[in-house]
Structure 1
Amino acid sequence: MDLCVINCLAILYFFVNINPLNFILYVSIGWIILSTFSKFYEVYRYTREVFILNLIFRQSILFFLVIFAYFGYHADLKIKPITVFKYVSFSFLLITIFKFAMYYLLQKYRSSFGGNFRITVIIGRNKQTLALESLFNNNPEYGYTHKNTFCLKNGTELGNIFEYIVSENVDEIYCSITELSNEQLLKVIDFADNNLKVVKFLPDNKEIYSKKLKYEYYDYIPILTLRNIPLEDSINLLIKRVFDILFSSAVIIFLLSWLTPIIAILIKLESKGPVFFKQSRNGFNYKEFDCYKFRSMTPNKNAHLHQATRGDHRITKVGRFIRKTSIDELPQFFNVLFGDMSVVGPRPHMVSHTNMYAKRIDKFMVRHFVKPGITGLAQVRGFRGEIETDKDIIGRVKYDIFYIENWSLFLDIKIIVQTFVNAVRGEDKAY
């Protein structure tokens, strides 16, 4: 919406004097870069209006300098400074109106219709937690539905709290540090990780500041978040999605368009059955989706239960080749285009295996905080293919969590390049 405003007004103000394509490209790239570094779109449900005004003011000053720099460089265009000033001022007047309209419409949607809400509980009862409870209950426009505040001093067991959280489908857990021992803190963290819950802390203990945590304010109440996930940022999410769409579209158009008929003929010549193999897997937020591959095995009842093993008799001759070269994974670019997967991310497992590892492997569920990928950091570090021991899945989870907490577009590109290099060289576990 903002890009539409600044580009449409640019055409209105400068169309006669400038090359519109060059200017639109310049102003759009400039806006995106400025927005990223100024964190212009980091507005959350608990963000105050004064902070939004501060973001708008800071963005307007930076944008003003960028526009003046353009016309300073192109002095031959003879654009008057007052024209530039009017353009920037009117642009930010409209942007401010749209930004606050969206802000208040979302608040109205939450308070009047109960949409876009998060279910919360608080562990620990003291002055800080009661203030937070009051904030949740008295500000429905923030979109929090507070279920319960638990007091551990009266003998309430963590196990009972965990059962309550699961039964009530709680989204976020808030903990008072002074109310919990170190052992209890670890139990809460492990529970949250293994059950895909967000856990946050009220910082009333100095020891917690020694950790790398995200610090936020809900009104005047300080809140700490244990795990900072870059892909929760709207700008990062947009960048990754645009990259996924462009990359998957390129693969589908320039590779799969002609390769698919060839692979299909080879598969059909060797064995009866469908060309594509469809399998349910768990993706973002643990939701199931249909993952597509080129069929590399003879049709069998155990395909959804057992992984391929070395020397697996189910694998066809064509299947052995396309698995060795990872060609069988290429149809998953349609999953990427449809939004179920990303080019890079934690590899999704069969539903039966996901349920098994969620119970056996600590923090396995953390992988589902982001979309699964066709390739991932764990895969290029040697943890791909068959899981022979718990060490294999533990190593995979370790690298996946590192990727989730340290995502960048550069890291995605690096993983893609390494995946291609590994496919050309050949991998021992690609069978």
Structure 2
Amino acid sequence: MPAGRSLTFWAQWLAAISVLILLLCALAVMKTGEVDTQYRMLAALMLLGSVPAYTMMQVYHKQHGYLAGLGRLLAGWLALLCGLTVAAFITKTSELFSREVIIILAVAGFALQACLYLPLHNLSRRYQQRIQAARTSLIIGTGDLALDLADKLAHQKKEPLIGLVAADDLPLPSNNVYPILGSLAHLRDLIATHRIRRLYIALPLTEAEKIEELYIDLLDSSVDVIWIPDLRSLILLNHSVSEIEGLPAIHLNESPLTSYPTAALSKALLDRTVALIAIILLSPVLLATALAVKMSSPGPVLFKQKRHGWNGKIIKVWKFRSMRMHDDHQVRQASREDPRITRVGRFIRRTSIDELPQLFNALQGRMSLVGPRPHAVAHNDYYTGKIDAYMARHRIKPGITGLAQISGCRGETETLDKMEKRVELDLAYINHWSLWLDIKILIKTPFSLFSKDIY
């Protein structure tokens, strides 16, 4: 967690947890006349458990708007309550607490946090804006990378951008919308004249020697120097920057499941818990569909196909059989009015009921509820080499639903463009993966089932 976000988080968290503990103590006194041991233990667990729960849900992130922030606050509070409930169940201590106290704490606790969130979030944003307004910046470079950076800084409106500085041997653009204040020979004068506090070096990697010279020359200047590496020609996957024994490390390609092991464990728990609950609730549908498939045509109820899973491992994905038994040696995607599809199969494909057995795949840990949809091995072999970074979509567990599916990329991919769009969304999911994103996709999935491209 960056220092700026850390300060914002801890200040708001401290205010919220203080109010919660005071509320719990007040409720305990009203109920029993004192704060008994079990309520003191509950207060301690709330104090300790709220940090991972709120961090996981990115509560108090300064970039969130009010509604998004309140949504994350609710998610973090519910995660904390679930964790406390599980702890009470395991330790068999739930009977020690007054149901009235717990219910009021759950409802009033969130209400108080929400009331605190609005003014504190507003104060936090104003504080950040005041700091950023005083942090005037300058970009060294006039190429595409520098202009792209200038656009992003202007869009974010976080810090005033004074202009650009041209490197001596690079041509100046003719239609630049940002002022070019001079060349490197005028750099120190520009820093002093405009009271520059942050300096971005946005030069191509071919200018490595010049970048090093600039860094050494600016060591005695009272400015923050930030180097923006030109990595746009690379397809980055869940990229990040870290430090290894004092050496800066740029992670170009990393699976979210290995880079965030704690969050990955939360994803696995969410997958298996929701999958088990869904199997129980949908058991009448599963049994009725199995019977209908068996009666519709000869053959097994389930269709098990080899597909690539996490890190390219071959797994068997389960589906209700929707086609008649056939001897096609070539794996073909289902198409509209496909004669191989049975009458029952057409209905269960149209309603996505045929995908429900994959809940068992999720329960087994082979699949996730949310992730890139797994394709047949033959299809992967075909598209590998035709689409850049195609197999990179397997750096996370395949899912029953995904960002591509709720974005309209469903059905047959009869053209390369359609598969490229699906892969683009799959990689975007990996790059922006979070537990909150999984929850949003799960909520949106039922509304995507009415797509005309499902058949």
Taking structure 2 as the reference length, what is the TM-score of the superposition? 0.51
Question: In 2, Cα distance between the equivalents of 1:239 and 1:303?
Answer: 41
Question: CA-to-partner distance for each residue in 1:61-89, whole Å, 9 max, x for gaps?
Answer: xxxxxxxxxxxxxxxxxxxxxxxxxxxxx
Matches for 1:27-426 after TM superposition, within 5 Å: 29-33=49-53, 36=56, 206=227, 208=229, 214-227=240-253, 230-231=256-257, 232-255=259-282, 257-302=283-328, 305-423=331-449, 426=450
Look up the equivalent residue of 2:345 and give its one-letter code: G
CA contact (8 A) 2:320 2:354 kept: yes
Cα distance, 1:302 vs structure 2:
2.5
Secondary structure of 1:237's aligned partner = helix
Which residue does the alignment assign to 2:65?
Answer: none
Question: In 2, Cα distance between the equivalents of 1:305 and 1:21?
Answer: 59
Question: In 1, Cα distance between the equivalents of 2:343 and 2:40?
Answer: 56
CA contact (8 A) 2:408 2:448 kept: no
CA contact (8 A) 1:277 1:295 kept: yes
Compared with structure 1, are the counterparts of its residues 301 and 37 closer, same or farther at alpha carbon in structure 2 (3 Å cutoff)?
closer
Secondary structure of 2:384's aligned partner = helix
Percent of aligned pairs with the same amino acid:
40
**Are 1:17 and 2:17 matched, yes or no?**
no
CA contact (8 A) 2:308 2:315 kept: yes
Compared with structure 1, are the counterparts of its residues 334 and 420 closer, same or farther at alpha carbon in structure 2 (3 Å cutoff)?
same
Look up the equivalent residue of 1:430 and give its one-letter code: I
Which residue does the alignment assign to 2:452?
Answer: 428
Question: In 1, Cα distance between the equivalents of 2:369 and 2:416?
Answer: 26
Question: In 2, Cα distance between the equivalents of 1:34 and 1:318?
Answer: 46
Cα distance, 1:404 vs structure 2:
0.4
Compared with structure 1, are the counterparts of its residues 332 and 210 closer, same or farther at alpha carbon in structure 2 (3 Å cutoff)?
closer
Look up the equivalent residue of 1:235 and give its one-letter code: T
Q: CA RMSD of the aligned region, Å?
A: 3.1
Which residue does the alignment assign to 1:185?
Answer: none
CA contact (8 A) 2:307 2:377 kept: yes
CA contact (8 A) 1:215 1:222 kept: yes
Question: In 1, Cα distance between the equivalents of 2:433 and 2:337?
Answer: 36
Cα distance, 1:20 vs structure 2:
8.6
Compared with structure 1, are the counterparts of its residues 209 and 235 closer, same or farther at alpha carbon in structure 2 (3 Å cutoff)?
farther
Compared with structure 1, are the counterparts of its residues 25 and 397 closer, same or farther at alpha carbon in structure 2 (3 Å cutoff)?
same
Instruction: Tell me which moved more, 241-250 or 16-25.
Output: 16-25
Cα distance, 1:18 vs structure 2:
1.5
Instruction: Tell me which moved more, 398-407 or 412-421.
Output: 412-421
Compared with structure 1, are the counterparts of its residues 222 and 21 closer, same or farther at alpha carbon in structure 2 (3 Å cutoff)?
closer
Question: In 2, Cα distance between the equivalents of 1:304 and 1:274?
Answer: 20
Secondary structure of 1:18's aligned partner = helix
Instruction: Tell me which moved more, 393-402 or 403-412.
Output: 403-412
Taking structure 1 as the reference length, what is the TM-score of the superposition? 0.54
Question: In 2, Cα distance between the equivalents of 1:301 and 1:410?
Answer: 43
Compared with structure 1, are the counterparts of its residues 317 and 181 closer, same or farther at alpha carbon in structure 2 (3 Å cutoff)?
farther
Higher relative contact order, chain-length normalized (CA < 8 Å, sep 6+): 1
Question: In 2, Cα distance between the equivalents of 1:314 and 1:210?
Answer: 47
Specify the structure having the higher radius of gyration (Cα).
2
Look up the equivalent residue of 2:229 and give its one-letter code: I
Question: CA-to-partner distance for each residue in 1:326-377, whole Å, 9 max, x for gaps?
Answer: 0000000111111111111100000000111112111111101100111111
Which residue does the alignment assign to 2:46?
Answer: 26
CA contact (8 A) 1:329 1:374 kept: yes
Question: In 2, Cα distance between the equivalents of 1:294 and 1:317?
Answer: 13
CA contact (8 A) 1:307 1:386 kept: yes
Question: In 1, Cα distance between the equivalents of 2:323 and 2:307?
Answer: 18
Compared with structure 1, are the counterparts of its residues 304 and 347 closer, same or farther at alpha carbon in structure 2 (3 Å cutoff)?
farther
Compared with structure 1, are the counterparts of its residues 214 and 405 closer, same or farther at alpha carbon in structure 2 (3 Å cutoff)?
same
Cα distance, 1:304 vs structure 2:
6.8
Cα distance, 1:228 vs structure 2:
6.1
Compared with structure 1, are the counterparts of its residues 226 and 312 closer, same or farther at alpha carbon in structure 2 (3 Å cutoff)?
same
Aligned residues: 253
Which residue does the alignment assign to 2:197?
Answer: none
Cα distance, 1:29 vs structure 2:
2.9
Look up the equivalent residue of 2:272 and give its one-letter code: I
Secondary structure of 2:315's aligned partner = strand
CA contact (8 A) 1:284 1:370 kept: yes
Which residue does the alignment assign to 1:5?
Answer: none
Return 5+ residue gaps in structure 2 as ranges: 1-34, 59-202, 208-225
Return 5+ residue gaps in structure 1 as ranges: 1-14, 39-177, 183-204
